[in-house]
Amino acid sequence: MGSYDNNPFADDDVNPFADGAKGKASGGRSQFGAGSFFSTSSSSKLSPLPHEPYDRSATVDIPLDSTKDLKAREKELEAREAELKKREQELKRKEDAIARAGIVIEEKNWPPLFPIIHHDIAAEIPIHLQRIQYVAFTTWLGVITCLTWNLVAVSVAWAYGGAMSNWFLAVIYLISGVPGSFTLWYRPLYRASRTDSALKFGWFFLCYSVHCFFCAYAAIAPPFFFNGESLTGILPALEELTSNSLVAGFYFAGFACFAIETMLSLWVIQQVYHYFRGTGKATELRKAAARETMMAAL
Q: What is the mean pLDDT of residues 33-46?
A: 52
Average pLDDT, the chain: 82
72 pLDDT band, cuts 50/70/90, is: confident
Whole-angstrom distance, CA of residue 284 vs CA of residue 196: 11
Residue 17 lies in a domain: no
Better-predicted residue by pLDDT, 286 or 24: 286
pLDDT single digits (tens) 155-178: 999 999 989 999 999 999 999 999
77, part of any domain: no
Let me know if residue 35 belongs to a domain. no
Of residues 193, 160, 168, the one with CA closest to residue 268: 193
Confidence of residue 65 (pLDDT cuts 50, 70, 90): low
pLDDT of residue 281: 62
**Residue 171: domain span:** 128-289
Alpha-carbon distance 264 to 192, whole Å? 20
pLDDT at 29 over 60: no
Is 72 inside any structural domain?
A: no
For the chain, how many structural domains are there in total? 1
Scored b (16 or more CB within 10 A) or e, 271-294 reads: ebeebbeeeebeebbeeeeeeeee
Range ranked top by mean pLDDT from 26-35, 54-63, 89-98, 114-123: 114-123
Residue (of 230, 206, 204) closest to 218 by Cα position: 230
pLDDT of residue 279: 75
101 part of a folded domain: no
Contact present, 254 and 153 (Cβ < 8 Å): yes
Please determine, for residue 288, whether its predicted confidence score (pLDDT) is greater than 60: yes
Structural domain includes residue 146: yes
- Whether 219 maps to a domain, the answer reads yes
In a domain, residue 27? The reply is: no
